[in-house]
Structure 1
Amino acid sequence: MNKKALLKDIISAARCKLRDEEIELYGKPINHSKIVKNKKTYSRKNYKIKIGE
């Protein structure tokens, strides 16, 4: 097994372990890449949609 494949396997195992711990802690997987936008903040786009109706 070459060095790249070994490193890839180590990283993959670490990610899998962290994901399992996260699911155990929170009860579901959490998306870290998507930002959740607060619905209560002012949005000019949504304001225009409400006026147009």
Structure 2
Amino acid sequence: MFLPDEERLVEPLYGRLVLFKSDVLEHEVLPTRTDRYSLTGWLLHQPPGLGFLG
């Protein structure tokens, strides 16, 4: 999803997975009243054919 100069609210729906490059996409995590999980990783090597990640 690319929205230049536009803000988009992503609703926290059960079973939804959101992936994004946090160094590129400004984001905010709001408080919750239930458990939620977060997974952080680093792409240290970009395999050929994944240029869309750069």
Bin the TM-score by the shorter chain: under 0.3
TM-score (norm 1): 0.22
Larger Rg: 1
Structure richer in helix, relative to its length: 1
